[in-house]
Structure 1
């Protein structure tokens, strides 16, 4: 009888150990995976994904802690992050789970960046401006006034030394940065009245953020950096003459057309920018090489897909805007020229204040100059008579 009791006790102890060390983590991982993936469908995005790496079928699932993407009030950022999260789970066979939490409120850059740098969260989708207050050079990786087109910017990041510069800046804050998407060029903005002359600049009250805000201010406009959600009320109360929000695909859903009917192009203040996956460096180093490679490859794929899709999506956005009786207009040179001069002054000030800004700016310009040499030699010149 005593042997039977001892056997039962041993059996119970072993059962508890197995439950705690083996079964419980698997249950938690499975539950976490389903919580993120319960709405997953076989969409076109999933069909674009390559086969799952078989080596990732073994080992425990990794469920990273995340937060709502930054900027929290930009739906395009959240949409791309959601697509990547589902793609990553599919590619890894549910071995890597990166939840993308909905943004209930606009969360400040400092709060989010401190969370990723300290390791309170493991990963975060963001634009580079999240830490521009701490590292001014990051502004050049975000909405860059009169910057290069999307293809040239992404080329600098992928095959120039743009990514190295970016990673070195974030590394100082215990953060590893991967280029993981692409945000298309913005419009020049919404305006209540048409722009007829340069004198109007000094009368404008405009909502804009980033380096573009410094340019408008330098040119004499009154800049207001309120959140996107506050813009409609500001228009309604007669407190704004103009506002810059996003690209046409998102602007068409903003509701701004009820207050401002003049929609100007091109988006000189933002010709497109990379979306980043920021990872706490300790969390990154805990990944095996295959999972690191999976993340890099998935990010490269997401960037290429979003870059290719952008023109068609923005064309649809323009069509939707026309249905809202929005007037599409090209920003006249008598407005663009003073803004360009103001940008040159702002850039000179930024370069003087921070050595890193100078180094990043020189790196970008050298790359673009070399790239342009070949482009001019290899590409056909458009002949208007052909169209």
Structure 2
């Protein structure tokens, strides 16, 4: 009995020595903690909550082997500094929107929301099945990072204005917060365009630095309080028909992950893309009802003059990108437009026709 006990203790001791010497680095490698810097306020409806849920999903799916710690806007770096944080290594991940980085490459805007471009379903189809991810990888290879679709707001609201828009004349001279290629469209229509993080918009409206602003839609906009300053709210956005958020990862660090952890990150992003879409679809109409009935918000559609001028401006921008951009931006623009022309046939022949029929013939209470 004593001999067996001795041998057992000796074996345990030996195992302990091995664990603290030879196997210690391996154990450390199996437990990884990454920082996710986001552009959103903490617990922000839809977007901030989605970023936290994505981090929690990755942590849970990996059983803690890859633990993701979330830093909301300003906690680790400024809201619009999260992409650089991944490039420079102060964070391993960021959660934001690709068109925020168009100062680095105009091609980035195609992976968020494009004027008169893809709906969210079309965008996911392009990325997942038509070579869009490969194009995105080429664009982000320049910066040593990799992007994944991580959330979907659906078609956004067109923006908040201090007074009703009757035509193009009312747009000219407005200080308007709106980003990406859509911001360039509004510039062509005569607005002075400013890009800023969502958490900064209210103060800029309140101070008068902004005359108008668009961010996402009722779910977010109600939380941000834009209705306290502006009462005229426009739908739908013609510049962001299917906005996607992104998870960006440091490419070299991602390559060092075991294959199963890489797949967990990828599939968790896919799940969250759909989860965020459902969140917005469920809560946008509830929030809009609150804005109208409790806060006196007036809902409008853009005048045709603005919609038509926006389409003309969008075509001009795409032509500029095709003819005058760098080689990769040209390639991205061409690939996106070719894919859009394929995908829209399905949307317009099937989805749009069904929605028109439902609107015309089917109503129940």
TM value normalised by structure 1: 0.78
Q: CA offset at residue 360 of structure 1?
A: 1.7
Q: Does 2:307 correspond to 1:331?
A: no
Relative to structure 1, the CA distance from residue 131 to residue 243 in structure 2 (aligned partners, 3 Å threshold; closer, same or farther) is closer
Q: 1:86 aligns with which of 49, 56, 63?
A: 56
Equivalent in the alignment of 1:179? 149
Relative to structure 1, the CA distance from residue 20 to residue 328 in structure 2 (aligned partners, 3 Å threshold; closer, same or farther) is farther
Q: CA offset at residue 135 of structure 1?
A: 1.8
Q: Distance in 2 between matches of 1:302 and 1:274?
A: 11
Q: Distance in 2 between matches of 1:84 and 1:60?
A: 20
1:355-370 map, 5 Å: 355-370=327-342
Structure 1 gap ranges (5+)? 1-11, 30-58
1:65-144 map, 5 Å: 66-70=35-39, 75=44, 76-104=46-74, 107=78, 109=80, 111-144=81-114
1:307-318 map, 5 Å: 307-318=277-288
Relative to structure 1, the CA distance from residue 72 to residue 146 in structure 2 (aligned partners, 3 Å threshold; closer, same or farther) is farther
Equivalent in the alignment of 2:137? 167
SS of aligned partner of 1:196: coil
Relative to structure 1, the CA distance from residue 235 to residue 272 in structure 2 (aligned partners, 3 Å threshold; closer, same or farther) is same
Equivalent in the alignment of 1:46? none
Residues 7-60 of structure 1, C-alpha deviation per residue, up to 9 Å, x if partnerless?
Answer: xxxxx9x9899668878997xx8xxxxxxxxxxxxxxxxxxxxxxxxxxxxx82
Relative to structure 1, the CA distance from residue 187 to residue 21 in structure 2 (aligned partners, 3 Å threshold; closer, same or farther) is farther
Question: Does the CA-based 8 Å contact 2:94-2:248 persist in structure 1?
Answer: yes
Q: 1:211 aligns with which of 181, 193, 204?
A: 181
Q: CA offset at residue 308 of structure 1?
A: 3.5
Question: Does the CA-based 8 Å contact 1:204-1:222 persist in structure 2?
Answer: yes
Farther-moved stretch of structure 1 (366-375 vs 142-151)? 366-375
Equivalent in the alignment of 2:319? 348
Q: Distance in 2 between matches of 1:219 and 1:235?
A: 21
Q: Does 2:354 correspond to 1:385?
A: no
Q: CA offset at residue 73 of structure 1?
A: 9.1
Q: Does 2:218 correspond to 1:248?
A: yes
Q: Does 2:288 correspond to 1:305?
A: no
Q: CA offset at residue 81 of structure 1?
A: 1.0
Q: For this pair of structures, how many residues does the alignment match?
A: 344
SS of aligned partner of 2:39: coil
Q: Distance in 2 between matches of 1:214 and 1:305?
A: 30
Farther-moved stretch of structure 1 (295-304 vs 74-83)? 74-83
TM value normalised by structure 2: 0.83
Question: Does the CA-based 8 Å contact 1:70-1:130 persist in structure 2?
Answer: no
1:17-96 map, 5 Å: 60-64=30-34, 66-70=35-39, 75=44, 76-96=46-66
SS of aligned partner of 1:214: helix
Farther-moved stretch of structure 1 (197-206 vs 76-85)? 197-206
Question: Does the CA-based 8 Å contact 2:47-2:276 persist in structure 1?
Answer: no
Equivalent in the alignment of 1:291? 261
Q: CA offset at residue 71 of structure 1?
A: 5.6
Q: Distance in 1 between matches of 2:98 and 2:43?
A: 14
